[in-house]
Structure formats: C-alpha cells, structure tokens
C-alpha cells in the first residue's frame, strides 16, 4: 500500500486545530466549574436565608397548667362563687378568728410532705413578699394582663425580675397562719385584668381563652 504523504502546511494546520480544540475544551470546563461553584454559593446563601428567618407553623402558645407536678396533691377548698351550690360555697369560706373570708383562690395540698410549686405560664416575677398570715408570696405577671399569685410558701427559689418558663419551680409549699388545718399547701390565685377568676375554669386553656373569662 502506498503511504500517504502530508505536506508540512497541512500538518501545521492540523496541529493548530487540535491545539485550539484542546484549549477550547479546557476553557469550557473552567467556565462550567466556576458556574457550578457560583450556583452552589447561591444555594448555600438561600439555605441560610431560610434558616435565619424560619418560623414554625405549629402553635407554641402555652395552655395554663396547675401550680404543682406532684400527682398526689389535691384541691383542699374551692374558689368562692356566688353562683355555686351551697356545699361548694361552704368549702370556699375561710374562718379566721371568727372572721369569715371568701376564698379568692384554691388551696392545694393534702400530703404530709412539702412539694414543688411551679409557674403555670411563662412570665416575669413581679414581687416576692412575706406575710404573717399566708407566709411567703410570689406574684408572676404574664401576657394579656394575667397575673398568678402563689401563697403559703415555705421556700422561694426566684427573685423579683426573674423571667420564668412554664413549669419553673418558684418555691415549696408550706403552712400558713390563715389556714393552719390545711398543713403543707399552696394557695393559688389568678387575676385577669385585675379581677379574681376561678382557677378551675382556666386549666388547659390558652391565653386567648382566658381573656374571655
């Protein structure tokens, strides 16, 4: 077979063409890599943007709980309600040295030992006081003009200005001179817009529901 002989100009042209194709391929690969990197940076930025501004669609609004977590604790008396039946009203009157006082809260206790008293909602401790009749008192302010008062405490574990979460231990139940026969207990009161309300009508309700009480 006769060998094909190529002239030098043809060889030079072929080499130039191949070199051009190689350089073009390298240039395209570099551009593509940079483009992918830029797109990756954009994706990271967008992801961070969503992470920074993400909001849960699940409601985290608290419902009011009872001021204790000991399952053996029970209600010892009732909130005074003029609409209640006679028996309930009798159990909501406090007799102190021949003076009859309408109970503006509910006393919880019924066990020999003391027990933890907890905040029923998130809030801020408005005051910590001590009274000769009802012992140590902690008042906590919550959203929507809701205030909770914890009386007859033997110990207090918070101070004025503290921000407390729901379930935070604020003290220990104790005895009081007002109701000595109750033993260790906490006298729990709730006010909404300055008006005392029955705690039993508030448990397991959200703040928006409490406002309508």
**pLDDT tens column, 123-165:** 999 999 999 999 999 999 999 999 999 999 999 999 999 999 9
Q: What is the pLDDT of residue 33?
A: 56
Q: What is the rounded CA–CA span in Å between residue 153 and residue 172?
A: 6
d(CA 115, CA 170): 11
Determine the pLDDT at residue 85. 85
Dist CA 50 CA 46 (whole Å): 6
pLDDT over 60 (residue 101): yes
The tens digit of pLDDT for each residue in 34-69 reads 554 454 444 433 333 334 443 333 334 689 999 999
CATH C-level class of 74-210: mainly beta
Tokens representing residue 199 in the block: 């705690």
Stretch (H or E) spanning 19: helix 8-53
Return the higher-pLDDT residue of 7 and 64: 64
Predicted local confidence at residue 120, as pLDDT: 97
**Residue 20 in this model has a pLDDT that exceeds 90:** no
* pTM assigned to the model: 0.70
pLDDT, averaged across the chain? 80
Domain assignments of the chain as residue spans, ordered by start: 1-55, 74-210
Tokens of 44: 């990271």
The pLDDT of residue 170 is 97
pLDDT, tens only, 184-203: 999 999 999 999 999 999 99
């Amino acid at each position: 077979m006769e060998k094909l002989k190529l002239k030098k100009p043809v060889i030079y042209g072929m080499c130039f063409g191949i070199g051009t194709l190689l350089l073009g391929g390298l240039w395209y690969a570099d551009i593509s890599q940079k483009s992918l990197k830029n797109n990756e940076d954009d994706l990271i930025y967008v992801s961070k943007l969503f992470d920074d501004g993400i909001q849960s669609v699940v409601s985290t609004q608290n419902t009011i709980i009872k001021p204790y977590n000991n399952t053996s604790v029970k209600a010892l008396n009732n909130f005074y309600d003029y609409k209640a039946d006679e028996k309930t009203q009798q159990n909501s009157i406090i007799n102190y040295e021949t003076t009859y006082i309408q109970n503006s809260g509910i006393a919880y206790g019924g066990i020999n030992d003391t027990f933890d008293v907890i905040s029923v909602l998130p809030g801020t401790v408005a005051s910590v006081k001590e009274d000769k009749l009802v012992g140590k008192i902690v008042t906590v302010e919550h959203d929507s003009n809701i205030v909770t008062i914890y009386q007859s405490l033997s110990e207090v574990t918070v101070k004025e200005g503290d921000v407390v979460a729901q379930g935070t231990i604020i003290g220990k139940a104790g005895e009081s001179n007002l109701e000595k026969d109750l033993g260790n207990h906490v006298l729990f009161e709730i006010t909404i817009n300055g008006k005392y309300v029955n705690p039993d009508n508030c448990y397991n309700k959200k703040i928006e529901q409490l406002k309508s009480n």
